[in-house]
Amino acid sequence: MRSATAGLLVLVATLLTPLGVTAWWLGSTVDDTDAYVDTVAPLADDPELRDRLAEAVGDAVSSSLDEDLPLGLPAGFDGMIDEAARQVTANEEFPRFWRDANRATHREFLAIVEDDAPADGWLLVDLGPLMLAVYAELEADGVPVAMLPDPRLVVPVAPESELAEHRDAYQLLDAVSGWLPVLWAALVLLAAAVARGLRGRLVTLGLAALGLALGAVLVRLAAGPVSDVALESVDPGRRGLADLIAEVMVDRLESTSVLVAAVAAVAGLVLVIGAALAGRRRAAPYPAAY
């Protein structure tokens, strides 16, 4: 009876593992603005991101100047604009811009999923500062852009309505992210307490650790497909930035899952082997007395 109770407690703890790993990742990375910004900050060094933003900014500047300059853009001027945009995204100030822009975007995200803010548009990244920097480059080259209106350029990341639809699930995961690991540990300790003997306790702890490893592996395998399904709601023509951000966030979840799985698997095997050795020592016959 005690062994069955211990096994049942370990089974419940194992079933909670995928939810616990995901909730912990959400609470420590997605729900924390500083942690989120630190996670996506390395994208500033990604040539693909820089190229995409340079292209978006260059196109926006060309369109804006073509409309606002009295005589429009002279022939061949687009090349100068594209070069200025590439210089802006390649300079040393770009990483700071990227962090600031993502900090603002993440605050808007939290307002939707936590504070029930209106969700009738798109979650956006503001590229206006990059356009201003391109204007400054052009002004330095003698192009009269200083008197033009301040430009506005935003890039969509995700439809706010989709975020609002998952608000309840997000809030639930966020609420349990702190105590699910505690509940898992409590179940495992209780299982070890009711197990019979030292060998039974070692086996129970070992199986719990292996169950944790299995749950983390399942999270690792499911993270990519679930992310792909979530991104299907975004217009393919607007998915460029969303794909890059989702990729780095999923990478963090996958690396966390792999680390948890590796540590738990090693611990589980050590405990199970220890239990087997303990059982052998108990079963070994005592030497005959003379």
pLDDT greater than 90 at residue 283: no
**Structure-block tokens of residue 176:** 């349990």
**Structure-block tokens of residue 39:** 């996670």
Residues 245-260 pLDDT 10s:
888 999 999 999 999 9
- Of 122, 115, 121, 125, residue with least CA distance to 167: 115
Q: What residues does 154 pair with on adjacent strands?
A: 126
**Structure-block tokens of residue 74:** 């002279």
What Å distances lie between residue 49 and 41, 52, 59, CA to CA? 11, 5, 15
Q: Which residues of 99-129 are buried (b: 16+ CB within 10 A; e: fewer)?
A: eebbeebbebbbbbbeeeeebeebbbbbbeb
Residue type for position 263 = V
Please give the residue that has the higher pLDDT: either 287 or 54. 54
**Structure-block tokens of residue 195:** 């197990």
**Every domain of the chain and the residues it spans:** 2-28+177-279, 44-165
Residues 49-72 pLDDT 10s:
999 999 999 888 888 877 766 555
